[in-house]
Amino acid sequence: MSLGNIVGLMRRKRELTRHEAWSREQLEAHQMRELAALRAYTCARSPFYRKFHKGLETAPLPELPVLTKQTLMANFDEAAADRAIKLSGVEAHPAKAGPTERYLGRYTVSATSGSTGSRGYFLFAPKEWTFLLATYSRAAWWAGVGPRIGKPMRSVRFGSPVPWHQSVQVGASIESKSLAPMLHLDSTMPMSEIVRQLNDWQPGYVGTYASLARALAEQQLAGALAIKPQMIGCGAEVLTAETRSMIERAFGKVLYDYYGASETGVIATECAEHTGLHCQEDLTIVEIVDAGGNPVPAGAFGERVLVTVLYRRAQPLIRYEISDRVRLQEGTCTCGRPFRRIEAVQGRVEETLYLPGMNGGARAVDSSAFETVLDRVPATQWQVVQDDSGIDILLAGLAPEYADEKIIRPLQSALEGQGLRAPPIRVQRVPAIPRGATGKSPLIKSNLRR
Residue 236 contacts residue 440 (beta carbons within 8 Å): yes
- The predicted-structure confidence for 267-306, as pLDDT tens digits, reads as follows 999 999 999 999 999 999 999 999 899 999 999 989 899 9
- The predicted-structure confidence for 155-202, as pLDDT tens digits, reads as follows 888 876 565 565 666 666 665 665 668 888 877 778 899 999 999 999
Which has more confidence, 197 or 6? 197
Top-level CATH class of 3-348?
Answer: alpha beta
Q: pTM of the entire structure?
A: 0.78
In this prediction, residue 305 carries a pLDDT of 95
Mean pLDDT of 231-257: 88
In this prediction, residue 365 carries a pLDDT of 76
Residue 168 contacts residue 183 (beta carbons within 8 Å): no
In this prediction, residue 389 carries a pLDDT of 86
Of all helices (H) and strands (E), which one includes residue 324? strand 324-329
Read off the DSSP letter of residue 317.
-
In this prediction, residue 312 carries a pLDDT of 94
Closest CA to 440 of 73, 134, 114: 114
What lies within 8 Å, CB to CB, of 1 at 6+ separation is: 173, 174, 175, 176, 179, 180
- Cβ atoms within 10 A of the Cβ of 434, count? 13
Mean pLDDT of 401-414: 88
Read off the DSSP letter of residue 148.
B
**Would you mind telling me the total number of residues written for the chain in this entry?**
450
**Interatomic CA distance for residues 122 and 110, integer angstroms:** 5
- The predicted-structure confidence for 45-65, as pLDDT tens digits, reads as follows 999 999 999 999 999 999 999
In this prediction, residue 379 carries a pLDDT of 82
3-348 shares its CATH topology with 352-446: no
In this prediction, residue 350 carries a pLDDT of 53
Q: Predicted confidence band at 421 (pLDDT cuts at 50, 70, 90)?
A: confident
In this prediction, residue 199 carries a pLDDT of 96
**Interatomic CA distance for residues 128 and 143, integer angstroms:** 24
Which has more confidence, 188 or 69? 69
* Strand-pair partners of 300: none
What percent of the chain lies above the pLDDT cut of 70? Answer: 86
In this prediction, residue 290 carries a pLDDT of 92
Give the Cα-Cα-Cα angle 346, 352, 353 (nearest 5 degrees).
Answer: 130
Range of weakest confidence among 229-233, 359-363, 425-429: 359-363
**Average model confidence (pLDDT) for the chain?**
85
Q: 248 pLDDT exceeds 60? A: yes
- The predicted-structure confidence for 346-391, as pLDDT tens digits, reads as follows 766 556 677 888 877 777 776 667 877 887 788 877 888 888 888 9
In this prediction, residue 308 carries a pLDDT of 97
Q: What's at 166, amino acid-wise?
A: Q
**Interatomic CA distance for residues 254 and 138, integer angstroms:** 15
Q: 443 pLDDT exceeds 80? A: no
User: What burial class does residue 228 get, using C-beta atoms within 10 Å of its C-beta: 0-12 exposed, 13-18 middle, 19+ buried?
Assistant: exposed
Q: How far is CA 232 from CA 4, 62, 206, 244, in A?
A: 27, 36, 5, 11
Q: How far is CA 54 from CA 72, 105, 114, 201, 336, in A?
A: 17, 33, 30, 55, 40
Residue 398 contacts residue 348 (beta carbons within 8 Å): no
**Interatomic CA distance for residues 12 and 19, integer angstroms:** 11
CATH 3.30.300 matches 352-446? yes
Q: Predicted confidence band at 212 (pLDDT cuts at 50, 70, 90)?
A: confident
In this prediction, residue 381 carries a pLDDT of 78
**Interatomic CA distance for residues 92 and 103, integer angstroms:** 10
Q: Predicted confidence band at 18 (pLDDT cuts at 50, 70, 90)?
A: very high
Residue-range domain boundaries for the chain: 3-348, 352-446
